[in-house]
């Protein structure tokens, strides 16, 4: 008969192999049934498996979305800025030119006159305060440029009002007129002040003549200031509202 333990193990192995065979046959049957059902049913039924969707936006929607984003950016830019985009460059350049050139003239006039006053004060210290007039008149030139620069910078506001190239050119010409006139006046005041205070130390009767020359030199910068204000007021009149 043999060992009963081996017989028992043999019977267990036979049962396990029978179960495996039955399981495989059942799996084959279920697969065949699912294929028959899938081929018989229409594809629109909800219980049929659908192919997975790709993550992200479809390729057909991407150009449409990109076009919408570009239009939104253009709308934001148009709402934030109106007029010519390069026009403010000329306007700000005019404001800078007015202040820079006027201050250059004021600096030259102050330095040139100050050198004459210092050299004269060594021999005649009592005439220093009387000869300080050219320095004061040269310093006023910087104020003219400051006024025009403030007027121009406050007139540049594309969000509130359209700013075109005509306005930019008007502000540029205004700044150049005031700035270059101030530069010329500063050079004249500096040269006249240097020579005038030295001559006044030797001949006091020359004081009135020196003051008149300085006044007419200062008038040059005043002409530039007046023309600059008129030109800056022309900005904003290029197109009728």
Does 184 reside within a domain?
Answer: yes
Does 177 reside within a domain?
Answer: yes
pTM of the model: 0.65
Q: Has residue 204 got a pLDDT over 70?
A: yes
Between 117 and 241, where is the model more confident? 117
Does 212 reside within a domain?
Answer: yes
User: Alpha-carbon distance 163 to 120, whole Å?
Assistant: 53
Range scoring the smallest mean pLDDT among 23-32, 41-50, 76-85, 215-224 = 41-50
Does 7 reside within a domain?
Answer: no
Between 212 and 74, where is the model more confident? 212
Residues 148-184 pLDDT 10s: 999 999 988 877 788 889 999 999 999 999 999 999 9
Answer for the pair 170, 92: CB distance below 8 angstroms, yes or no.
Answer: no
How confident is residue 235, by pLDDT bands cut at 50, 70 and 90? confident
Does 2 reside within a domain?
Answer: no
How confident is residue 48, by pLDDT bands cut at 50, 70 and 90? very low
Instruction: Provide the domain count of the chain.
Output: 1
Q: Has residue 42 got a pLDDT over 80?
A: no
Answer for the pair 144, 102: CB distance below 8 angstroms, yes or no.
Answer: yes
User: Alpha-carbon distance 90 to 233, whole Å?
Assistant: 16
Backbone angles phi, psi at 156, to 5 degrees: -100, 100
User: Alpha-carbon distance 224 to 211, whole Å?
Assistant: 21
Domain containing residue 150: 82-238
Does 10 reside within a domain?
Answer: no
Answer for the pair 236, 166: CB distance below 8 angstroms, yes or no.
Answer: no
Does 138 reside within a domain?
Answer: yes
Alpha helices in the chain (DSSP H): 4-40, 61-80, 87-123, 133-155, 165-202, 207-234
106: domain CATH number is 1.20.120.610
The span from the first CA to the last CA of the chain, in angstroms, equals: 120
* Nearest residue to 228 (alpha-carbon basis) of 184, 172, 188: 172
């Amino acid at each position: 008969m043999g060992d009963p333990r081996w017989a028992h193990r043999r019977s267990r192995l036979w049962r396990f192999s029978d179960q495996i065979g039955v399981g495989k046959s059942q799996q084959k049957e279920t697969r065949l049934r699912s294929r028959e059902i899938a081929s018989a049913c229409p594809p629109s039924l909800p219980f049929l498996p659908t192919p997975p969707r790709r993550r992200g936006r479809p390729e057909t929607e991407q150009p449409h979305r990109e076009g919408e984003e570009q239009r939104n950016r253009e709308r934001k830019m148009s709402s934030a800025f109106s007029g010519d985009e390069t026009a403010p460059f000329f306007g700000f350049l005019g404001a800078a030119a007015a202040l820079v050139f006027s201050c250059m003239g004021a600096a030259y006039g102050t330095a040139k006159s100050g050198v004459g006053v210092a050299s004269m004060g060594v021999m005649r210290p009592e005439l220093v305060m009387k000869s300080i007039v050219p320095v004061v008149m040269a310093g006023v030139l910087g104020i003219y440029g400051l006024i025009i620069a403030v007027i121009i910078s406050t007139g540049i506001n594309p969000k509130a009002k359209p700013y075109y190239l005509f306005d930019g050119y008007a502000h540029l010409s205004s700044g150049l007129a005031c700035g270059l006139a101030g530069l010329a006046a500063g050079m004249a005041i500096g040269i006249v002040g240097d020579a005038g205070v030295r001559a006044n130390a030797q001949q006091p009767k020359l004081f009135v003549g020196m003051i008149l020359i300085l006044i007419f030199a200062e008038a040059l910068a005043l002409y530039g200031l007046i023309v600059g204000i008129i030109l800056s007021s022309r900005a904003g009149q290029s197109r009728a509202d």
